[in-house]
Amino acid sequence: MSDQGVTGKVVAVRGAVIDVRFSEADLPPIDSMLSIEMEGAEPLILEVHSHLDPQTVRAIALQATGGLARNAAVLATGRPIEVPVGDAVLGRLIDVTGAVRDRGPALPPDTKRRGIHNPPPPLMETGATGGGLFETGIKVIDFFSPLSAGGKAAMFGGAGVGKTVLVMELIHAMVEKYQGISVFAGIGERSREGHELLTEMQRSGVLPRTVLVYGQMNEPPGARWRVPMTALTIAEDFRDEKHQNVLLLMDNVFRFLQAGSEVSGLLGRLPSRVGYQPTLASEVASLQERIASASGAAVTAIQAVYVPADDFTDPAVTAISSHMDSTIVLSRQLAAEGFYPAVDPLASASVLLDPEIVGEEHYALAERARQALARFKELQDIIALLGTEELGPADRQAVRRARRLQRFFSQPFTVTEAFTGVAGKSVARADTLSGVRAILDGEADDWAEDSLYMIGSLDDARLKEQAGAGSKERAA
């Protein structure tokens, strides 16, 4: 096929699914790009999905198809969708096709472009740069579910439990300590959330080292389905060509699978479990296996995952979690009780919580803390019925310390400062360990529980306790 491409004609339009006939040329390859000139609008971009017969292909539109008519001319170049990569896209907001959407100047004409469909790096070349701890400054994550530099972490939670806030806080937390490039993929995001993130990044000075890639909720399923591929392609270019570390943030990976399910339905495939597409597992794998460290640079992925109806056995949730090094589970009950971030320490896990990686002390403390919190959870029904007075001395002590641990793991965030009036805190892992050790050893047994709520290190709690004791003395 020549570089100038060949021309076909639209023969059927069914929403985002378009059939195109090429009667005088070879069919364009699967996953290659088609383009249709639209009067008074930008060209409509399609992606070839299947070959129906020797002359007809079925394609998925990445933009709205309103106004498209049969017999419209379709240009096929035989190449995949190519998006701009490199330093030119830093500080910019682009869409799934690489078009700039931040109302800024156009990208330079000589900007390098790269196809969005690339194989994962060979297994022998991956992993050499990964494995170290990736400190976030968020106590409950660094303690119970530490992240790996060059690894994959996912935050699972239902609607309204704080996934997006946690992602935004992680972006803030990485600005000072993380020297690298950030790529943010907004998959099926609300326009309001995208605008808030863009203005917040401009205000905080993070934007010059960040690329924002959006496929919004109101866009066709094809756009939401391919947005992660665009973001990954940009991250891969920084990794392979510039050998720079990349922090890849995705919010929300469930919307990627939801869009794939919509595309599958439009293509007439029979649904599989719970109505999902039959290709669910392979779609997740094709995305996650490309997130890898290679070429002497690490790609660290942090992904938010919506859990439909808080059902953690949902096929989409289980398919994603099987690829993760760290899983952070957000609890609706903790959010309702006012513990933010609402991370459930008993449900969260990490392959890095190993004595050989985090050290014997951290591992032993995490086991002790989990035992205390698990015992408190077991006793909650008894406490609700009879109160703590009916418990034995050992159980009363376990409950007292578990309640203080719960409050210690709450933390004020920088991104919520405007709403709460409380300055955000970032806590080093060593300070988190010393705080947990002190609480488990009984140092805070006589402190007011409020002294440990929404603080940074234990020193903040000590100051609050001293101030509280002083005010009580004055009142007396």
Active site residues: 163, 189-190
Which run of H or of E encompasses 426? none
Is the omega angle on the peptide bond into residue 146 within 30 degrees of 0, that is, cis? Answer: no
pLDDT band with cut points at 50, 70 and 90 for residue 297:
confident
pLDDT value for 192: 85
Rg value, the chain, Cα: 25
Question: Model confidence over 77-86: pLDDT tens digits?
Answer: 899 999 999 9
Among 94-108, 143-157, 319-333, 384-398, the range scoring the smallest mean pLDDT is: 384-398
pLDDT value for 414: 84
Q: Would the pLDDT of 2 be above 60?
A: no
220, two tokens: 């066709």
pLDDT value for 321: 95
Percent of the chain with pLDDT over 70: 95
Check if the beta carbon of residue 215 is closer than 8 Å to that of residue 60.
Answer: no
127 burial via Cβ count (<10 Å: 0-12, 13-18, 19+): middle
DSSP lists the bridge partners of residue 251 as 186, 304
As a whole number, mean pLDDT of residues 385-396 equals 86
pLDDT value for 205: 75
User: Each residue of 37-55: b (16+ CB within 10 Å) or e?
Assistant: ebeeeeebbbbbbeeeeeb
User: What's the mean per-residue pLDDT of the chain?
Assistant: 90
List CB contacts of 435: < 8 A, sequence separation 6 or more.
139, 408, 457, 458, 461
pLDDT band with cut points at 50, 70 and 90 for residue 69:
very high
List CB contacts of 234: < 8 A, sequence separation 6 or more.
83, 85, 89, 183, 211, 213
pLDDT value for 33: 96
As a whole number, mean pLDDT of residues 315-336 equals 95
pLDDT band with cut points at 50, 70 and 90 for residue 3:
very low
Query: How far lies 272's CA from each of 68, 122, 257, 315, in Å?
Result: 32, 31, 13, 10
DSSP H helices in 409-457: 417-420, 429-440
Q: Residue 10: which of 52, 47, 59 has the closest Cα? A: 59
As a whole number, mean pLDDT of residues 262-291 equals 94
pLDDT band with cut points at 50, 70 and 90 for residue 177:
low
Q: Residue 341: which of 186, 206, 454 has the closest Cα? A: 454
As a whole number, mean pLDDT of residues 225-241 equals 96
As a whole number, mean pLDDT of residues 327-355 equals 94
Question: Model confidence over 188-221: pLDDT tens digits?
Answer: 988 888 888 888 788 777 788 899 999 999 999 9
pLDDT value for 20: 97
Name the DSSP class of 120: P
In degrees, to the nearest 5, what angle opens at C-alpha 37 toward C-alphas 35 and 40? 145
254 burial via Cβ count (<10 Å: 0-12, 13-18, 19+): buried
pLDDT band with cut points at 50, 70 and 90 for residue 4:
low
Cα gap 241→113, rounded to integer Å: 12
400, two tokens: 């007292």
As a whole number, mean pLDDT of residues 24-39 equals 92
Check if the beta carbon of residue 411 is closer than 8 Å to that of residue 342.
Answer: no
Q: Residue 75: which of 42, 45, 106, 41 has the closest Cα? A: 45
* DSSP per position, 181-227: EEEEEEEEE-HHHHHHHHHHHHHHT-GGGEEEEEEETTS-HHHHHHH
Name the DSSP class of 99: -
As a whole number, mean pLDDT of residues 177-196 equals 85
User: Each residue of 349-364: b (16+ CB within 10 Å) or e?
Assistant: bbebbeeebbeeebee
Q: Residue 407: which of 451, 465, 460 has the closest Cα? A: 451
Cα gap 318→313, rounded to integer Å: 6
329-420-210-431 Cα dihedral, nearest 10 degrees: -60
Which run of H or of E encompasses 87? none
